[in-house]
Amino acid sequence: MAFKQLESEYAIPRGRVFFNPRGADGKLKGERPLGNCPEVTISISSTKAEHFSSETRASRRDRNRTVRVTRAGKLTVDNLDSANRAMILSGTLAKVSQTAETITDEQIDVVPGCYYQLGATEANPIGARLVSDVVLSPTGAGQAFELGKDYALDAGTGRIQILEGGAITAAKIKAAYKREAAKWERIETGPDGEVSGALRVVSDMVDGKDRDHYMPSVTLTPSGDFALVNSEEAYMQAEFDLDVLEPANGPAIYCDGRAVAG
């Protein structure tokens, strides 16, 4: 009878990636899908302690013990929704509420050819958005400046441009306008350069058996370039350094095949 040869299993990996952030209390808050992740990799390196016997003229290696195992890797994501951007920028995601208000005398030092943000303060450098009825005028007596001739306006972002060749010179002017009640998302960077939690990869293989991976304790640290402007004809991506840690009561990585009845 001929030998039965091993049938090799080949793999082309695909899958969905979920991150479960750990709160300040140390508890996991709930898995969030990261969206499309073109690449999730793990690299394993070991450090060994070697011992050489000195009982003979030529020292002989008689021990070689593994004393350290490091599991690390990379996670690449191109789903750049607000939650992922907050992770990339090591920041927090919040909702900003702007109340409706009429501004009558906002002082602005201007120079022709430059742009200025209405409503900008040290506490709120982003300034006002969704403005209307904008009137720019001299701080003293005089006629209001003319929109389109002396200045330009982007009402949605609340920005003005002082046009060169117009009646506005390098001086202080005053702005009057209305701002609508509005809401938008904001990400503010914070002191933490990484996020910790658990990572799950639910397999959907092109070829090979589906095996799901779960890492109960990981840290994700943003790394590499994150393009704000790019002339290349390619979608943006962001990278994280992935550190896989070993929890106190369990393995660092679980790799489970799919269950079958019986």
Give the pLDDT of residue 233: 87
Chunked mean pLDDT (size 10), the chain, 262 residues? 88 96 92 96 94 91 92 96 94 94 96 97 94 95 93 98 96 96 94 91 95 96 91 91 93 94 88
Can you tell me the distance from the alpha carbon of 199 to that of 181, in angstroms, rounded to the nearest whole number?
39
Give the pLDDT of residue 175: 97
Q: By the 8 A CB rule, do 107 and 139 touch?
A: yes
Can you tell me the distance from the alpha carbon of 55 to that of 67, in angstroms, rounded to the nearest whole number?
24
Q: By the 8 A CB rule, do 151 and 177 touch?
A: no
Taking Cα atoms as reference points, which of 221, 224, 216 lies closest to residue 244? 216
- Phi/psi for 68 (5° steps) reads -155, 135
* Both tokens assigned to 260: 């079958």
Q: By the 8 A CB rule, do 230 and 188 touch?
A: no
- Phi/psi for 198 (5° steps) reads -125, 150
Q: What distance, in Å, lies between the first and last C-alpha atoms of the chain?
A: 32
Q: Hey, is 82 helix, strand or coil?
A: helix
Give the pLDDT of residue 188: 92
**List of E strands, 54-114:** 60-77, 91-98, 101-110
Can you tell me the distance from the alpha carbon of 133 to that of 151, in angstroms, rounded to the nearest whole number?
14
- In the chain, the amino acid numbered 21 is P
Can you tell me the distance from the alpha carbon of 65 to that of 49, in angstroms, rounded to the nearest whole number?
5
pTM, entire model: 0.84
3-state secondary structure 159-206: EEEECCCCCCCCEEEEEEEEECCEEEEEEEECCCCCEEEEEEEEECCC
Q: By the 8 A CB rule, do 42 and 75 touch?
A: no
pLDDT tens digits along 163-208: 999 999 999 999 999 999 999 999 999 888 889 999 999 999 999 9
Give the pLDDT of residue 139: 92
Q: By the 8 A CB rule, do 106 and 136 touch?
A: no
Give the pLDDT of residue 63: 92
